[in-house]
Amino acid sequence: MSEIKKVTIDPTKLMIVGLACGLVGAYLGAIRSEVAGLLAGILAVPVIVWGADTVRRIASYGLGTGVPSIGNLSSSMGLLAALVGLAYQPVIGVILAAVAGVVYGAFVARFKILEIPRLPRYTTELAMAASLALMCLASCVIGYYNPIPESGFLAPTSNFENIFKALFVTGFVAAIFWITSVAMLHPFNAGLGVGERQGRTLKIAVVTGGMALTLAGIARIGYLTIFGASTQLYIAYATLAAGVVVWAGGLVAFLRTAIREAASAVWTGIPPKKK
């Protein structure tokens, strides 16, 4: 078992930023504007970065062979919590995710299935990050999620109809589940090795976060096209454009860092260098 690697960004700070961004994104629908969906999708990116860092902390204790399983675990714990959060209140979904993470981590630690220090904390963070990322991306596809209760603590019934049409009738719930899982597991899976470090790995997380936002934009366009709401497409295209910008910006930053820190950079000849 390897020791946990040094970090350049305090994981607690990443957690605070991720929680804040995720909750703000989930509750932005209170303004009842299509712009809320766009902003919720953008705010999912720092949540994904937080989740990717949590995957890194768990997988750093082993050889990295279980990274995909950890990513799928996060989305599995987070999906039900996210749906509960969207049906009732986002904060309830986050609490449910935290409880699931604590129970899972405590069970694994108690029976020494994985000997990873502080595992209950890691699994709790992972479940919360996944649930918030799923809620933000789902809100992005729906257009916006209205968290203001009609009575008591329940969200408006119109949310149920919008969630069902945008995610389940279209089938886009599978795409959102998949991209959330991949966005959190891929950064460390791609960057692991002797020379892996947190800063470079999290730049990959920005790339995958941009990919998730791009896919949410595509899903939003598909949803509006299927149900004939073409007048709202401009925000969907803005979401797609924002995702591409984050994706490309993160990729450029990562490539520059990788080339600078690599022992050598050998040109493959494709594309050919210009003289």
Model pLDDT, residue 218: 95
Lowest mean pLDDT across 29-38, 213-222, 245-254: 29-38
Model pLDDT, residue 66: 67
Model pLDDT, residue 64: 60
Going by pLDDT thresholds of 50, 70 and 90, the confidence category of residue 65 is low
Nearest Cα to 163, choosing from 153, 173, 154?
A: 173
Q: Is the pLDDT of residue 4 over 70?
A: no
Where are the alpha helices (H) located in the chain, listed in sequence order?
A: 11-27, 35-59, 67-87, 90-110, 119-142, 157-163, 172-191, 198-226, 233-261
What would the two tokens of residue 74 be? 């996060």
Looking at per-residue confidence, does 184 or 72 come out higher?
A: 184
SS3 66: coil
Q: How far apart are CA 253 and CA 206, in angstroms?
A: 9
SS3 232: helix
Q: Going by C-beta distance under 8 Å and a sequence separation of 6 or more, which residues neighbour residue 227?
A: 165
- By residue count, the chain amounts to 275
Cβ–Cβ < 8 Å for 74, 184: yes
SS3 156: coil
Going by pLDDT thresholds of 50, 70 and 90, the confidence category of residue 266 is confident
pLDDT in tens, 19-35: 999 999 988 877 778 88
The mean per-residue pLDDT over the stretch 60-70 comes to: 69
Amino acid letter, 44: A
The overall pTM is greater than 0.85: yes
Other CB atoms within a 10 A radius of the CB of residue 16 amount to 12
Cβ–Cβ < 8 Å for 158, 148: no
Lowest mean pLDDT across 113-127, 162-176, 198-212, 214-228: 113-127
The mean per-residue pLDDT over the stretch 215-230 comes to: 89
What would the two tokens of residue 181 be? 């899982």
Nearest Cα to 55, choosing from 251, 201, 179, 223?
A: 201
Q: How far lies 153's CA from each of 81, 87, 92, 225, in Å?
A: 16, 10, 10, 33
Model pLDDT, residue 151: 66
Other CB atoms within a 10 A radius of the CB of residue 62 amount to 16
SS3 166: helix
Q: Is the pLDDT of residue 1 over 80?
A: no
Percent of the chain scoring above 90 in pLDDT: 44
SS3 58: helix
pLDDT in tens, 175-200: 999 999 999 999 998 888 778 889 99
Looking at per-residue confidence, does 260 or 205 come out higher?
A: 205
Q: Is the pLDDT of residue 209 over 90?
A: yes
pLDDT in tens, 97-144: 999 989 988 888 787 766 777 888 888 999 999 999 999 999 999 887
Tokens 């950890």 — which residue? 70
Mean pLDDT of the chain: 86
Other CB atoms within a 10 A radius of the CB of residue 275 amount to 3
What would the two tokens of residue 135 be? 């809620």
CA angle 172, 94, 163 (to 5 degrees): 30
